[in-house]
Amino acid sequence: MGFALVIAIGGATGGSAWAQSLTLDLGDSATLTERALQIVALLTILSLAPSILIMVTSFTRIVVVLSLLRSALGLQTAPPNTVMIALALFLSAFIMAPTFQEAYDAGVRPLMEDTIDMEEAFVRASEPFHVFMRNQVRESDLALFQDLANMPAPETPEEISLRVLVPAFMISELRRAFEIGFLLYLPFIIIDLVIASLLMSMGMMMLPPVVISLPFKLIFFVLVDGWQLIAGSLVRSFGVG
């Protein structure tokens, strides 16, 4: 993730300088081997970037909540998946910006400056994400995967293995997303029940209640400024703002 940012920044800011003077110094075989390994690691990280985004950031909770919101409103394709994912990505970027910056400053930048090796860069860059996940994960989920891995309980939070922390964090995020989704469903279910009762009392049982209730749910969501409430609540649920 941070490596991709380095490439983008370097390409945007240093393209003209590279075009003016381009030299290739392979150095000795040891240096060449190390560079080759760094390139392989970089390509691997770039290929895994979408999975990393889902596993260790706020994206999972946000995209699940937005999907449940669309279902609660009774909408099938509006907003379309592209819009939902884009909104989830930008909200995740907003929430994770301090973590990304800290990981870049601590691990990626020193690696690009050749002041630390790849292993130390990984440790430094992963620490901010480790802290973020520890702040969001539930103790019971951590205990579950700690037991499944047959690993002793860590003495300090910093000693929690990523093998345990990442899956525990993901199921914690899914639980919280479902809790938020349940609360989102309640007002719209009430609207559906009221509309269904009115139609039955008027003898219009052949008319689907969903057809009538959808406009009322939409105007209700607009009147309460639903998108602002959802976005603000999701961001604040991670301790931001």
Look-up: residue for tokens 């620490």?
127
For residue 233, what are the CA distances in angstroms to 105, 198, 238?
A: 29, 33, 9
Cα distance from N-terminal residue to C-terminal residue, the chain: 24
For residue 17, what are the CA distances in angstroms to 11, 20, 52?
A: 10, 5, 33
Residues 187 and 69 sit within 8 Å (Cβ to Cβ): no
Give yes or no for residue 11 having a pLDDT over 50: no
Where is 70: in which H helix or E strand? helix 59-73
Please return the burial class of 175, using the count of CB atoms within 10 Å of its CB with bins 0-12, 13-18 and 19+.
middle
Helix (H), strand (E), coil (C) string for 179-220: HHHHHHHHHHHHHHHHHHHHHHHCCCCCCCHHHHHHHHHHHH
Across 36-50, 56-70, 151-165, 210-224, least confident range: 36-50
- CB atoms closer than 10 angstroms to residue 62: 28
pLDDT on residue 126: 81
Give the whole-angstrom CA distance, residue 145 versus residue 194: 44
Give the whole-angstrom CA distance, residue 53 versus residue 92: 9
**Per residue in 58-95, pLDDT tens?**
899 999 999 999 988 888 788 888 999 999 989 998 99
- Of the chain, the percentage scoring pLDDT greater than 70 comes to 84
Give yes or no for residue 17 having a pLDDT over 50: no
Average pLDDT of the chain to the nearest whole number:
79
Residues 201 and 25 sit within 8 Å (Cβ to Cβ): no
Give the whole-angstrom CA distance, residue 72 versus residue 177: 14
Across 41-55, 72-86, 141-155, least confident range: 41-55
- CB atoms closer than 10 angstroms to residue 133: 23
